[in-house]
Amino acid sequence: MFNFRQDFIRFAVERKVLRFGEFQTKAGRLSPYFFNAGLFNDGDSLRNLSQFYAQAILTAELPFDMLFGPAYKGIPLAAGTAIALAEQGRNAPYCYNRKEAKDHGEGGSTVGAKLAGRVLIIDDVISAGTSVRESIELIRAEGAEPCGVVIALDRMERGLGDLSAVQEVRESYGLPVIAIATLNDLLDYLQGEAEMIENLNAVQAYRDLFGVEYEHV
């Protein structure tokens, strides 16, 4: 089977969504790499990104009934992933939330299919976990049950404590987190690119300082 995780890292680098240099994180650390999923901003890149999300979901074999995209970044991700899954023979409903509930027209706080059953949350990354927490609360308030979270890249980096953002979500909510690719995949990619040796050394040094290791779905 082709290594879609390596393909995703290569795709992100080619689209300059994943860049190398010196970038300050929200935690105030100087990171040697930066991932900005918002730069998947044209039809072709969104189509490819959605196919990677679909592949990660199908590979994980996690049972789910529908997709949910947290506003705003999760909206095109959920819609695109639903299309990509349908192309793979898995037709799933999806919906997303409004930032403010609408009291006219169809009303409500969500748009799309009614939240029901096992709901898979589609987002770009998990940093502070705020988007995930709000999504879980909304899904449960509608009588549905969150069954997992899918993200593009897991930095596998500890937060203020000893756990990474992904580990915190797993421990706080008991939900699996599926990542298209992880920091381990990034390091594997860099090891195979001779011209990237300087970036490999910088990312490895950063991982030695702030990284955490754990199993993925």
Which listed residue (16, 102, 114, 216) is catalytic?
Answer: 102
DSSP, residue by residue, 34-77: EE-GGG--SHHHHHHHHHHHHHHHHHHT---SEEEE-TTTHHHH
| Catalytic annotation present for 104 | yes
Q: What are phi and psi of 67, to 5 degrees?
A: -110, 150
Where do the H-state alpha helices sit in 67-150? 74-87, 130-141
| Catalytic annotation present for 216 | no
Q: In the numeric block, which tokens belong to residue 104?
A: 């006219």
Which listed residue (16, 26, 99, 104) is catalytic?
Answer: 104
**What's the rounded Cα separation, in Å, for the pair 173 and 136?**
9
Q: What are phi and psi of 10, to 5 degrees?
A: -60, -45
**What's the rounded Cα separation, in Å, for the pair 155 and 164?**
8
Q: Are 126 and 151 in contact (CB under 8 A)?
A: yes
Please identify every residue annotated as catalytic: 102, 104
